[in-house]
Every structure is written in structure tokens, then in C-alpha cells.
Amino acid sequence: MSIEELEVIAQAMVAPGKGIIAIDESNATIKKRFDSVKIESTEENRRAYREMLLTAPKLSEHISGAILYDETIRQSTKAGVPFTKVMLDNGILPGIKVDKGAQALAGFPGELITEGLDGLRDRLAEYARLGAKFAKWRAVITIGEDMPSGTCIEANCHALARYAALCQEAGIVPMVEPEILMDGDHDIEVCYDVTEATLRSLFGSLYEQNVMLEGTILKASMVISGKSCPEQASVDEVAEATVRCLKSSVPTLLPGIVFLSGGQSDEQSTAHLNAMNQMGPHPWPLSFSYGRAMQSAALKLWSKDLVKNFAEAQKIVSSRAKENGLAALGQWHKAAKAA
């Protein structure tokens, strides 16, 4: 696939007013989410849940793509139509999580390194055959005493760049995700410094590994106060610091940046994105790739009756998509919630 074709996909992912829904929870993570609302994590329940999300009415008006998990990309609707076909017919690009999760980084207690490079070339070829147009790899950077180390940042960015180069070789747009965790009592300035150092290292690694930025999407975490920091930055402070940090570290050639929600409430994640876009125009479209902030309200309702609440839960998903789509344009209003 040519760079132009990758560019077309990357641009479609961040088309005006559209973003990504992340439904790529591993079986271990979705079990945690299901446990919290007392749903048994069987293959059929996971399939039914993902069908509910992917077939929500009018989803494609505000959703350009969905990130799937290995099990999900092979599943079908109850009527037997593969999820990837339902998505492509509806103008939603199938994405796939390809990392194998974060493990302890040897020699650096408390820090993590994401695994999954071995055999990745073959897995990507299979995912491309299954219809994947983009992929995701999540690196995790932890803030704490003497953390993150330069070694942790560099090792994770090196892996992200190797993954990205393999994706482009397979005709798949890499979404590179270095998540700076919100856990901790650090203030927003510490988050700013760590985010800036990580992004600079990431783009250095991408350059060294010949990754074409025109066919790459960044999935970033926002510059925000640690969850247990006594002083929480305001919506405008988060938006201003995040945009300033991105401008200081992300090349303008990149087609777009999407954010993870990372444990922010639904409303916070939408308000922050909206505030950033109201401060625009920026060098890149700023949109969303939310997991929890797209799903949590719908999951809660669906869990009360998996059959009867199917359509009502879908309405919540569509409404969250609409709210975040408006925020991607800087047109969301807190009071007037999307219908």
C-alpha cells in the first residue's frame, strides 16, 4: 500500500466532527468491566455487548473507526454478519489492538514495558486480511518517585516505533499511544514535563525507524493533574497545557491527534476536548478515541437487562458519540446535552 493510501485512512480517522470508539479491551480487562456491573464474561456476552456498541443507530455520523480486540475482529452479529463487514458497510473503519499488554520492566521496579513485537509482522498480515485499516499499541508511562526513568520512556518509544514501521509495511495505519497514567498526587506541571519528554522521545524514535508521519495517528493522554493531587487544574488549564505541550513536541505533518479518556469522567473528557477545540485552530485535528468515556453509561444500563435494554443502551452510545463529535468541533454545550 502506498503512503497516499495510508494518508487517506489516517485523515478519515480524524474527519471533522468524528472520532474513534475504543472497544479493544482484552478479555482480562473486559472481565473487570463486566464484573463491576455483574455480567458474566462469556464469549457470547462479550459478542452481544460489542454488537450493541457497533450497531448503535447513527453511530457513523460521529464515529470514524472502532478499535477491536483479537477475539472481536473474528466475531459476527447474531444474524451472522461479520462485525468488520457491518462496520465497513456503515463507513466505520475497523481497527485492531495489537500489543500484548504491559509487563514489569526488568531492573526498573514499578515501571512497565509493552510487549508484542515477536511475530507481529505475521499477525498484522492476518489482521489486514480480516479487514483492519488501522492498529493500536499502548505504552504506559507511570509517574511516581524517581519515575518515569529515561530508560522506560526510551524502551517504550522504541517499541512503539518498531510497531509503527511494521504496521505501515502491512498497509495498516499505526495509532501510537504513549499513555501517561493519571494515577498519583503529582500536579499538572509534572504531567506536562513527562508528557513533553515522552512525545519528544516518541517522535525521535519514529523518525529513526523511518515511520511516515503522514500515515500515523497519535493517541495522546491529556496534560492533567494526578488523580489524587489536592489541587485539580480547571478545564481551561488542562486544555491550554495540553495544546501547548502538543505544539512543543508533535510535528505538524501528523494528520491528527486523538485522546484517550484514561479514567476521566464522561463529562470531563468531553469538556476538555471541547475547550481545546475552542482554542483552535490548531496544526492538527484534535479528536477522541475514548474507551470508558464512550461506554460506561451504556454498559451500566445494558447490564440491568441484556435483552430489554439493548436499544436504550445503544441510544446512550450514540448520544456519547454525538457529544464527543461536537466537542471535536468545539461546539459542545454542557447544558444542552445531545439528544
Active site amino acids = 177, 219
Of 135 and 336, which has the nearer Cβ to ligand 13P?
135
For residue 178, state whether it binds ligand 13P (rule: CB under 6 A).
no
Q: Which of positions 34-73 make contact with ligand 13P (CB under 6 A)?
A: none
Per DSSP, the three-state class of 306 is coil
Q: How far apart are CA 12 and CA 19, in angstroms?
A: 9
Asked whether the beta carbons of 145 and 185 are under 8 A apart, the reply is no
The DSSP bridge partners found for residue 113 are 103
- Among 173, 160, 260, residue whose Cα is nearest residue 213: 173
- Among 91, 13, 84, residue whose Cα is nearest residue 58: 91
For residue 320, state whether it binds ligand 13P (rule: CB under 6 A).
no
Q: How far is the CB of 135 from ligand 13P (least distance, A)?
A: 12
Q: How far is the CB of 38 from ligand 13P (least distance, A)?
A: 20
- Among 266, 259, 70, 270, residue whose Cα is nearest residue 177: 259
Of 150 and 181, which has the nearer Cβ to ligand 13P?
181
Specify the DSSP class assigned to residue 167.
H
Among 62, 158, 272, 292, which residue sits at the site for ligand 13P (rule: CB under 6 A)?
Answer: 292
Find the part of the chain contacting ligand 13P (CB under 6 A) among 76-84, 146-154, 192-200, 287-295: 287-295
Of 246 and 260, which has the nearer Cβ to ligand 13P?
260
- Counting residues that bind ligand 13P (by CB under 6 A) gives 10
Q: Which of positions 105-144 make contact with ligand 13P (CB under 6 A)?
A: 138
Q: How far apart are CA 289 and CA 68, in angstroms?
A: 12
Specify the DSSP class assigned to residue 234.
P
Q: How far is the CB of 291 from ligand 13P (least distance, A)?
A: 3
- Residue nearest ligand 13P, CB atom distance: 291
Among 156, 225, 261, 319, which residue sits at the site for ligand 13P (rule: CB under 6 A)?
Answer: 261
Residue 35 amino acid letter: D
- Among 150, 238, 146, 227, residue whose Cα is nearest residue 182: 227
For residue 260, state whether it binds ligand 13P (rule: CB under 6 A).
yes
Of 1 and 37, which has the nearer Cβ to ligand 13P?
37
For residue 92, state whether it binds ligand 13P (rule: CB under 6 A).
no
Looking up cell 456498541, which residue turns up?
Answer: 53
Find the part of the chain contacting ligand 13P (CB under 6 A) among 116-124, 166-174, 246-254, 258-266: 258-266
For residue 262, state whether it binds ligand 13P (rule: CB under 6 A).
yes
For residue 177, state whether it binds ligand 13P (rule: CB under 6 A).
yes
- Among 303, 316, 288, 319, residue whose Cα is nearest residue 49: 303
Length of the chain: 339
Per DSSP, the three-state class of 65 is strand
Q: How far is the CB of 41 from ligand 13P (least distance, A)?
A: 17
Backbone dihedral region of 286: left (phi > 0), alpha (psi from -120 to 50 degrees) or beta?
A: beta
The residues binding ligand 13P (CB under 6 A) are: 22, 138, 177, 260-262, 290-293
